[in-house]
Structure 1
Amino acid sequence: SCQRIVPSNTDFAFQFYRQANTQEAGKNIFFSPVSISAAFALLALGSRGTSQAQVLEGLAFNLTTIQKKEIHEGFHHLLLLLNRPGSQVQLSMGNTLFMDKHLKPTKTFLKDVQKLYRGKVVSSSFQNSTEAKKEINDYVKNKTHGYINQILEDLDPNTLMVIVNYIYFKAYWENPFNIKGTHKDYFHVNAKTSAEVEMMVRDGFYKAYSDRKLSCKVVQIPYKGDVAALFILPNKGKMKQLEHALTKKTVSKWERSLQRWRMELHIPKLSISGTYDLKKILMNLGVTDVFSDQADLSGITGNPDVKVSKATHKALLKIHENGTEAAATSSIDFLPHSAPPIVKFNHPFLLLIVDQYTQSILFMGKIVNPT
């Protein structure tokens, strides 16, 4: 079942975060760890030998304690649960392998990609790289309801295979913020810079925790459906210390320690996106063979002389009064006449969006500047 793979996916999320953070110090970070894990697990399905071991180990799997078959079955189960119908959250996640039309994927691989990963293989003519790039961009735009309109900036004409991973997420807060309360305020990007933001405000009950050791506040804001956002606000100057302590253990301690409090919560409206060159980050995590001439992807085509030329990930999030999309009418909690403590997210903070049902981290980010 998917519980066998979720702990590794979580470890991978934090490893990826550290890599992204090293590459883009002082910038916003936003990505979907669970969908990157799924994309590379799909690649492992078609890899053999060292190539395969590197990919799975790079995804934080310990191959002495879990079998490859269990990993793939775990993802199969996880994807079924995440794309579950009847949930109030719209979540569609997909992986597509664009392959040069001269390459013929094996029947077994096509069947497994479809069955285990709900994945697709699309045949492309990469010789005409402008045309191929447009085809891939249009494909993703269509799959994400026009949300992500350009996943690829450039494409090398010698490309034989591109992995594209997309995730579309739309959800509504369990308790929307009242649009009337939204006002202009300042967000302190760093000691020298402030940006003007639209600040949403809501007086209500939230599950929260103050971590004295890490000097941060954690507030959980539930979406309708089984998904919740965890907003983590370090005290000024404590972000590095917080990032250093970001592990599976820390987050589960926070989740266990949450208690309901009344507060006046201030959160900026935001629209952020992150685009990552997965090849670069995964190579830093020890996954090198699949991108080089040592690649053995013979499980995909039957012959070993193919490598992955490009792997890209793009994730996008909008947060506003009603959740992650569209306009809101709002409900009010009836509260006693006393002033609650104010919790104001007006300097850099971290954000985790977690599927409570599977305990999977759907998105993870650092908001340094919400504008």
Structure 2
Amino acid sequence: MAITKLARKKVREMTPYQSARRLGGSGDIWLNANESPFANEYNIKCDRLNRYSTCQPQELIQAYADYAGVSAEQVLTSRGADEGIELLIRAFCEPKQDSILYCPPTYGMYAISAETFDVDTKTVPLTADWQLDLPAIRDNLDSVKLVFVCSPNNPTGNLIKRRDLEALLDMTAGKALVVVDEAYIDFCPEASTVDLLSQYPNLVILRTLSKAFALAGLRCGFTLANQEIIKLLLKVIAPYPVPVPVTDIAVQALSPAGLAKTKFQVLDLSANRAYLQAGLSMLEGVTVFDGYGNYLLVKFPDAEGLFNTLWDHGIILRRSPVENCIRISVGNRDECEKTLAFIREQLNQN
């Protein structure tokens, strides 16, 4: 179609991120998007919907700052952590000049966001045990402004060693920002790098309410960084990025009652993850990798065949870029039991 020629060449050539929703599927068990199985109730006020929202609602910023253990000046809220990725690239990378660096297998939106803004990408694959290859990163830092590291990493589920993150921060000091994506950190808060913000001015942390807080549909994320970085991001963010109902619900989720409910649900999901891991580990030819988020990466003898069979029977999981692996989100106990039983049955037939 001739109209597509009006689009930028880069956009015409791009392959969009294949999110769980784009991929579709039809079934009763959805364990493909690392969503929470809990649907919590909230109250929404409707007396301010005729007015624009505040760019950075003070009540929301303070609530998350208190939860994260930082000052309000170190917090920016956005439409999910995905928008935080875009804001960082827009604020720090010159198109066709600067680069980002990321370490696959990992979250695909780092690369797609960079491509969208004509920013080059460099990849340094994780090591065999899915840790940072620091020497290779050091050799590839020319023109790099942002280094993205996901911990717990999606899709592998493992944590990146803290000493390696500190070494990376030292290595990039004065040259680039290290962006630690902590979308799943609420399942292992002791592994957060938030305490390093005071020591490393080049550290940025991405957070979200989508996972542990069971608010994937809310699209509410946060960027934690030193005040100078937050001020720069505020220059490029949209005027009204946080809808009024989003603020209302997020503040309730971050209240003492909301935090208590989230803590209980995280414990429940962690127990289900352990159940799923133990059950799958008992199956012949199956390898379950340690996971610290609300999902597990599992290696099967014939992952593609099993994935398709599960899909056809209404159990929707997620293909993985890791060979012969499937990523399984942790659902409620009933979903985990049915998924485990179906997989066991299929493998026994073979």
TM-score by length of 2: 0.25
- Of structures 1 and 2, the one scoring higher in RCO (CA 8 A, sep 6+) is 1
Q: Which has the higher helix share?
A: 2
